A and B are shown apart, each in its own frame.
Chain A
């Protein structure tokens, strides 16, 4: 009780202090799970942070702590940021979910934004990106680029986010190429470039001529380049250093528009707890330039698909779709609801192998 009170008083005092003395400066904190130099997930979030700084200049102060382990350390870092007068704190990893909720309870005046989670509170928003929309475009290109009809997929851990991506890519690859097969490797790591390189090489050796990756390093790109005739897609960042070939396009995490909008909302006093799941249309998921290695007509139809996904005219999971065991999932024309997508733990019909349990 004592600490909660103390913290609350401190927060209130600070809240008053910051409005009284430095009211023109909004302090935005970022808690990162990896180093800002990871070239992937955290790197992109940090770019979002820099965009906030660039946009608001002197009106904003951003702080960040990198490589914060999930659990008590994260809770401490968030508390520390809140104590030091942060008005808005972005916590950018799924594992920060419970710590964010805990700290948010103690600081009702501070706004929290938790990435990829599902627990909301009056001062906690959740946000995530519909990366599966990008996967649909990837699958569309991949299905037509493959000559061996074998597409390799490097997954990190078997969690809904990754499974959703596999399903989306597969559905759209099958739509343009009924013979296409997916070979899936689970790396069981978020980050191990050497292992990702090995995984890519193995997939190539086993006949895959398109590699999709849900891990963030460029190791698979390099492996594809060495192999010579293998197509890849950038992940998290554009990876344009491997364009125009093997990297023919990419899915880019673009957090900047969201971070800027939410910071603006705090400045205006219009911030409200929200559950945001943005896709291509809102600019949270970017599709990197489709290079000239892709034939013009495929590029055109891919861009068309992208446009339809962006406008909401088409949903990446539109029936008729069956689950892997053949049971019906979506009827003709029916689209998947967000609840099912958020917890997706099954493959769609046609994929081989099992989701590891």
Chain B
């Protein structure tokens, strides 16, 4: 056993990378849920984003175009969900699950020609002097742009929800859609936009895995991250900064687990691998005292009958 082999600075830097796809997908889902919609199709949108981004960036040679394509891909897939739940008034749980099934299949079909291809690399931030600073440099100034975008997005969503009119309308819709409707807000329109935003974020999160974190394309490569993102939103009790914190915690446990193994600590791996989920449950229990946080209309179907 050699715990000194674990470098806490590098551990933090790599957990930030591990957390970013989770963060992006979860922030998107947070907005969706704040509008009162539960979309369980995050995994499906992520994987479609992963292949859309991968294919476009391989074809064009531009990682940036790839990321944009990933957002479009995720959003397009979420259109299906929006149509089903907002216009056809279908059950959201079932629609979300169907979306995941469909997305996994679709991505595999799209990706048939891209197995074993290496995507163009994404540049990382490298500011002379600052990026080389001890501790601060590796943690804050040596990452890829998408990681910073994730943090920026968290801040933007927090600000928008808290201080802007759009945020107010969104929250009102999620809290009580009938009241929001009575006030003259377009409930359906707000929700569709939120769903598209969620799809774009999930797509970007997926592309982060296929273009930056791994980078390669293989079928089913998101391997359940979309589901964890769903848990994360609840874990964070629908608060953006807590999503960030939770994503780092989730990513952190995994990275720490691997670190302990590599340092030769004889840990029962299965039990440590369970721990993020057990901790989420514990946090859910603790957070559940705070009854005010969940959007009031979450998962309920809205139909303007009058």
Contacts and interface: CB of A to CB of B under 8 A. Distances in A.
A193 B221 contact: yes
Interface string B83-124: 000000000000000000000000010011001111000000
Contact of B18 (A194, A196, A354): A194
Report, nearest first, the 7 A-B pairs whose CB atoms are least far apart. A205-B10, A202-B258, A206-B5, A35-B219, A192-B223, A193-B214, A241-B118
Interface stretch (B70-78, B148-156, B265-273): B265-273
Contacts of A38: 115, 218-219
A199 interface: yes
Interface string B289-306: 000000000000000000
A186 B269 contact: yes
Nearest to B6: A206
Contact of B213 (A186, A197, A205): A197
Given A184-B261, A193-B221, A198-B18, 11 more contacts: A35-B220, A37-B108, A39-B218, A191-B223, A194-B209, A195-B223, A196-B214, A199-B258, A208-B262, A219-B216, A241-B118
A37 B264 contact: no
A352 interface: yes
Given A184-B261, A222-B214, A237-B116, A35 B254 contact: no
Interface string B1-25: 0000111001100100110010000
B244 to A, nearest CB: 19
Interface centre among A38, A199, A205 (most CB of B within 10 A): A205
Contact of A188 (B118, B214, B269): B269
Given A202-B259, A354-B266, A191 B213 contact: no
B115 A353 contact: no
Interface residues of A, number: 41
B64 interface: no
A217 interface: yes
Interface of B: 5-7, 10-11, 14, 17-18, 21, 108, 111-112, 115-118, 209, 213-216, 218-223, 225, 254-255, 258-259, 261-264, 266, 268-270, 273
Interface of A: 34-35, 37-40, 43, 152, 183-186, 188-189, 191-199, 201-203, 205-208, 217-219, 222, 237, 241-242, 352-354, 356
B216 A193 contact: yes
B123 to A, nearest CB: 12
Contact of B264 (A183, A189, A217): A183
B218 A217 contact: yes
Nearest to B256: A202
A356 B272 CA distance: 13
Given A37-B112, A191-B220, A202-B255, A222 B215 contact: yes
B7 A206 contact: yes
20 contacts: A38-B219, A40-B218, A186-B269, A188-B269, A188-B273, A191-B218, A191-B220, A194-B214, A194-B225, A195-B223, A202-B14, A205-B10, A205-B11, A206-B263, A217-B214, A219-B214, A219-B216, A241-B116, A354-B266, A356-B268
Contacts of A34: 219
Contact of B216 (A183, A191, A217, A356): A217
Given A183-B264, A194-B18, A205 B108 contact: no
A183 B216 CA distance: 25
A334 to B, nearest CB: 30
A13 B115 CA distance: 41
Contacts of B21: 194
